[in-house]
Amino acid sequence: MQNLVEVLLGIIIVLSSLGVILFKKPVHSCLSFLLTLLALSGMYLQLGAPFISAMQILVYAGAILVIFMFVIVLFQDAYLAIDSYPAKSKPFWLALSAAFLAAAFMTLGVSLGSVESKSTPEGYGSLEALGKAIYLDFFFPFEAVAMLFLVAIIGALYIGKKAAK
């Protein structure tokens, strides 16, 4: 039963990811992206990582997707102006995408024979394991990213304040 749910979630993830790329309207792509994120959250639940699943919904499906929708609404006129010009290099990009997919499937086909299933360690995906990993094993990179975000926020506030004057 668990394998069936994982396969169904995987199919939903792949199809909704294709919808993000293939839909013509940005709002439909954004909704397809929401479905992708929710299915990915379900996959995290199936893999025994409830905290990562909750963060997936709160951070990505909640915050990032709202920002995407704001950008889509704010730049709708620019999108319509760009969309009026037909793409001239479409066959090139289709051929390049097909070649990339063929290479990916060949690599996957070669590596599938050597994949061994391993059991996950006890406590994998729990909040305690995540906290230990962040504050013990990856403390410096975690703090470096936090400082980078702080500098980015200060820079954005400075630019926004400067533009308002």
Domain annotation covers residue 107: no
The answer to whether residue 130 sits within a structural domain is: yes
Mean pLDDT, residues 88-101 taken together: 84
- pLDDT-derived band at 119, boundaries 50, 70, 90: confident
Say if 104 falls within a structural domain: no
Tell me, yes or no, whether 79 and 137 share the same domain: no
Domain with 65, as residue range(s), is 1-85
Q: Is residue 113 part of a domain?
A: no
Q: Is 120 part of any domain?
A: no
* Residue 11 buriedness (CB in 10 A; 0-12 / 13-18 / 19+): exposed
The band of 165, judged by pLDDT with boundaries at 50, 70 and 90, is: low
d(CA 160, CA 65): 22
Please report whether residue 19 resides in a domain. Answer: yes
* pTM (2 d.p.): 0.62
When divided into structural domains, the chain yields a total of: 2
Residues 73 and 147 in one domain: no
CB distance 123 to 131 below 8 Å: no
Domain boundary among 85, 110, 135: 85
| Res. 19 pLDDT band, cuts 50 70 90 | very high
